[in-house]
Structure 1
Amino acid sequence: MLLATFKLCAGSSYRHMRNMKGLRHQAVLAIGQELNRRVRGDPAPGVWINQVRRQSSLLGSLLEEPLYSDQELAYIQQGEEAMQKALGILSNQEGWKKESQQANGDKVLSKVVPDVGKVFRLEVVVDQPMDRLYEELVDRMEAMGEWNPNVKELKILQKIGKDTVITHELAAEAAGNLVGPRDFVSVRCAKRRGSTCVLAGVATHFGDMPEQKGVIRAEQRPTCMVLHPLAGNPAKTKLTWLLSIDLKGWLPKTIINQVLSQTQMDFANHLRKRLESSPTAEARC
């Protein structure tokens, strides 16, 4: 019985099943009942106690993982799907056209993707290690409005586990006020894959953040930033940012293209200044 119980536990740890409340509750309840029965009826519990100890890591992880609601699971899935979609776009090297390039090598490329629209791709090298960028872009996400003039405010509305958050971002006017204020509600997720970090996001609905008066609710299509150490120089980081946004409202395409490509170039410049002027977490401690 105990072995069968642990098999039930193991079943709940699979990716598509481990967050199902009913199954997890059943598994924990069954273990509790089995242990109580053994205590009452077995005068020499050494064997089954050893069995329990051998499975302690599995049971511990089962009990420690948060129980997600259906809505939270939907947000997690949205983030993962956006990441896969964005990475798929970046992996296709065909059809990219240069929008702009700076003397330091920073460049913005673009192309039109079926069912997505026009996407923009920023490629830069930053003279900071990857962990420093991750700290600023993920751990200190809400401080972005302090150093990026294109962002008036960025707030985390909800955290879901360790990788996923729901955010509200209020963007500043652009193109000499031709583009009025926009805001975005997005689900974002951050994943580390070996020496590479991927930060992805997409527009979502969050009931506690309705549209704001005087602000157009724009939508972020699948987008992501990819960070990895520069080959041969881990003290520097290659940053690739795929940007795809529906600004809503009536705007000429030429204005949209200008705003989005310039937003990416501005971001790279402001990020460098922030990293140079702001101390690392170790220094702050």
Structure 2
Amino acid sequence: MFFTPMDSPTHSDDEEIAPKNLQKPATDDNFLNVLQTLPSLSEKEIDEYKNKARLLVNQSYELLTSNEWQKLNTTSAGDVVSVLSNDYGKILKIEGVIDAPAIELVDRLYNNIEDMPSWNKDVSLVKKIETINLNTDIIYQSTKTYGGGLIGPRDFITLRHRNKCGNYYMTSGISVKIDLPHRKNHVRGENGIVCFAAEKIENDGDNNNENKCHVTWILHANLNIWLPQRVIDKSLASTLEKMMGSVRYYVYQSFDTTG
């Protein structure tokens, strides 16, 4: 999940951040036309993306199993929010239990990514723009205004990869650069790494555990906005909390977990 703040009370981040040597931002209609007419990837590009995807699995697993996370708080839903700081900045994660089988949850979120706006009201559009193989693709995603106007429309171009590593079924992502114009009224954000991972919950006498999983959501995003870091951190933590709620809503609406 991927969010970046927009206008500050005193100036427009679009004016400050948008590259000055690019063509005029595309209107929504023109932008959607461009998305639908992107050229096919070359064999060299496909190989490069496959290599990035393999590295992404290792990077995600290292974050999932790191002992350097520091707990920030527990949400009202019982989810735990933590932070890890490294040379690239702060990385956030949230952990909780979802009432769905681990592998099915990850597969549905990966395969049906374009349906996300129907269950996550902060997301306005998701489109698969390149398919590399069954478990690897590139998506375009845009978000709505958020956070009382401090966080506004952003868009992201993300390489995604689905895999199983250790006990984790996961889908991971990282921003990539492709020849895509900037979209009007949107600021292009960057995902350093994002990861949604689900683990089976071992049977502890509860027969319903097979329909539950432990979920970890990791977010490392460049917000491209002139705001105090504490405001950005709070916004991202709130994004993670809301995303967990959205996933639970999605499961409630579309999964049969009655056994």
Q: TM-score per shorter chain, which class? A: 0.7 to 0.9
Task: Give the 3 Å change call, closer, same or farther, for CA 246–194 of structure 1 in structure 2.
Answer: closer
Q: Of 239, 244, 268, which aligns to 2:215?
A: 239
The 2-side partners of 1:194 and 1:158 are apart by 28
Residue matched to 2:229:
253
Which one scores higher on RCO, CA 8 angstroms, separation ≥ 6?
Answer: 2
Q: Which runs of 4+ in 1 moved over 6 A?
A: none
Conserved? CA contact 1:82–1:223, under 8 Å: no
Residue matched to 1:211:
182
The 2-side partners of 1:175 and 1:184 are apart by 18
Task: Give the 3 Å change call, closer, same or farther, for CA 178–103 of structure 1 in structure 2.
Answer: closer
Residue matched to 2:148:
176
**Deviation at 1:184?**
0.4
Q: Which has the larger radius of gyration?
A: 1
1:263 to 2:239 alignment: yes
Q: Percent identity?
A: 26
Conserved? CA contact 1:187–1:204, under 8 Å: yes
Q: Of 72, 92, 98, which aligns to 2:46?
A: 72
Residue matched to 2:126:
154
The 2-side partners of 1:101 and 1:263 are apart by 14
C-alpha distance after superposition, 1:35-74 (max 9, x if no partner): xxxxxxxxxxxxxxxxxxxxxxxxxxxxxxxx97000111
Residue matched to 1:81:
55
Gap regions ≥5 residues in structure 2: 1-40, 204-208
Residues 44-55 of structure 1: matches in 2 within 5 Å? none
* Aligned partner of residue 152 in structure 2, secondary structure: coil
**Deviation at 1:83?**
2.4
Conserved? CA contact 2:103–2:169, under 8 Å: no
TM-score in terms of structure 1 length? 0.70
Conserved? CA contact 1:83–1:224, under 8 Å: no
The number of residues matched between the two structures is 211
Equivalent position amino acid for 1:211 in 2: H
* Aligned partner of residue 159 in structure 2, secondary structure: strand
C-alpha distance after superposition, 1:96-135 (max 9, x if no partner): 2223312442111112112x21000110111111233123
TM-score in terms of structure 2 length? 0.76
Residue matched to 1:137:
109
The 2-side partners of 1:179 and 1:168 are apart by 19
